[in-house]
């Protein structure tokens, strides 16, 4: 009995795009990323060799990934990796998938840290370690600490630090800034949950698979930001700064929270899409 004919890369991709069209906003990109992952090759390989036909083993592995993606699994969880600030980060369902817009927080932090500075910096709610590790790579003389209440998230963050050669970053288990004494840090950065609990977007797209505690924070989405602002006012040294990510329509509310917590020199920042995305304040 003859085996089924092998299918070319181009045909595999076309079929995957058809299967993903109803469930993904970027079916072609998803298909290419998943096939490259299944083959253990860069995406450029797919474009260079569209006529090549992978063996049945690889074709089946790809088909399985496509099926899981069509069922709602995020691509980053299927490949186990997401790039952030040019760092390849391991991710799994224990951590929020790092977003490109969050790179703005790293840029704002680096603006406040001289190249030769030796500062104490905290990434509160580190998740995969994205913000802490990006800052540590760019400012190696600084002492970077990363906290998270989730032990599973800290396990991923520590793994990322080790594989990236950033083992000097310290990881602490705890609820936001609760583990730290007063005046511990020169700079605190956080991408906290800020989605209202009843927001319908929590039941749509990739966020359905992400940890809810990393996304939602109370009726107005600002519960975590209120806690962090209050705790940061205690933990920052005089002249220290807090940088927070927030939702596109929360800028004024977050500025009010920071002001009520004693912060001054407030600054709002927009992401590359022009959306209000971050708030900064100084003690």
Query: 7-25: per-residue pLDDT in tens?
Result: 999 999 999 999 999 999 9
- Stretch 191-218: mean pLDDT: 96
- Percentage, residues of the chain above pLDDT 70: 99
Quickly count: other Cβ atoms within 10 Å of residue 253's Cβ.
18
Quickly count: other Cβ atoms within 10 Å of residue 30's Cβ.
22
- The answer as to whether 88 is a domain residue is no
Res 1: pLDDT: 42
Return the closest-CA partner of residue 145 out of 188, 90, 99, 199.
Answer: 188
**Domain of residue 36, CATH code:** 1.10.8.10
- Stretch 215-222: mean pLDDT: 97
The reply to whether 59 and 142 lie within a common domain is no
Provide the sign of the torsion angle of the four alpha carbons 116, 120, 125, 128, taken in this order. Answer: positive
Domain that holds residue 272: 94-282
- The answer as to whether 61 is a domain residue is yes
Q: For the whole model, what pTM was predicted?
A: 0.92
The reply to whether 51 and 148 lie within a common domain is no
The reply to whether 27 and 122 lie within a common domain is no
The reply to whether 196 and 259 lie within a common domain is yes
The reply to whether 30 and 167 lie within a common domain is no
The reply to whether 246 and 179 lie within a common domain is yes
- The answer as to whether 86 is a domain residue is no
State the pLDDT confidence band at 272, using cuts at 50, 70 and 90: confident
Judged by DSSP in three states, 51 sits in: coil
Query: Dihedrals φ, ψ of 187, to 5°?
Result: -150, 135
pLDDT at 2 over 70: no
The reply to whether 98 and 238 lie within a common domain is yes
The reply to whether 57 and 112 lie within a common domain is no
**Domain of residue 142, CATH code:** 3.40.50.150
State the pLDDT confidence band at 6, using cuts at 50, 70 and 90: confident
- Stretch 247-266: mean pLDDT: 97
The reply to whether 245 and 146 lie within a common domain is yes
- The answer as to whether 26 is a domain residue is yes
pLDDT at 3 over 90: no
- The answer as to whether 226 is a domain residue is yes
Res 4: pLDDT: 62
- The answer as to whether 77 is a domain residue is no
Measured between alpha carbons, how far is 258 from 242 in angstroms, rounded to an integer? 9
The reply to whether 116 and 15 lie within a common domain is no
Mean pLDDT value across the chain: 96
Domains contained in the chain, number: 2
- Stretch 190-219: mean pLDDT: 96
- Percentage, residues of the chain above pLDDT 90: 95
């Amino acid at each position: 009995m003859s085996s089924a004919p092998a299918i070319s890369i181009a045909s595999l991709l076309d079929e995957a795009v058809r299967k993903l069209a109803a469930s993904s906003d970027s079916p072609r990109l998803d298909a290419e990323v998943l096939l490259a992952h299944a083959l253990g090759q860069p995406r450029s390989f797919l474009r260079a060799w569209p006529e090549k036909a992978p063996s049945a083993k690889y074709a089946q592995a790809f088909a399985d990934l496509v099926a899981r993606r069509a069922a709602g699994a995020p691509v980053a969880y299927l490949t186990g990796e997401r790039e952030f600030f040019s760092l390849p980060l391991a991710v799994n369902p224990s951590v929020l998938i790092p977003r490109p817009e969050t790179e703005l927080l790293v840029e704002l932090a680096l603006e406040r840290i001289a190249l030769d500075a030796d500062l104490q910096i905290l990434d509160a709610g580190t998740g995969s370690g994205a913000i802490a590790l990006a800052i540590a790579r760019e400012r190696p003389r600084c002492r970077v600490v990363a906290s998270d209440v989730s032990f599973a998230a800290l396990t991923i963050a520590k793994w990322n630090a080790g594989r990236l050669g950033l083992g000097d970053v310290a990881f602490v288990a705890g609820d936001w800034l609760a583990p730290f004494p007063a005046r511990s840090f020169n700079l605190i950065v956080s991408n906290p949950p800020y989605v209202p609990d009843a927001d319908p977007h929590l039941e749509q797209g990739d966020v359905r698979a992400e940890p809810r505690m990393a996304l939602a924070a109370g009726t107005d989405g600002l519960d975590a930001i209120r806690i962090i602002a209050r705790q940061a006012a205690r933990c920052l040294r005089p002249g220290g700064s807090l940088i927070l990510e927030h939702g596109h329509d929360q800028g004024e509310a977050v500025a009010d929270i920071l002001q009520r917590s004693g912060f001054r020199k407030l600054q709002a920042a927009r992401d590359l899409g022009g959306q209000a995305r971050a708030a900064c304040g100084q003690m």
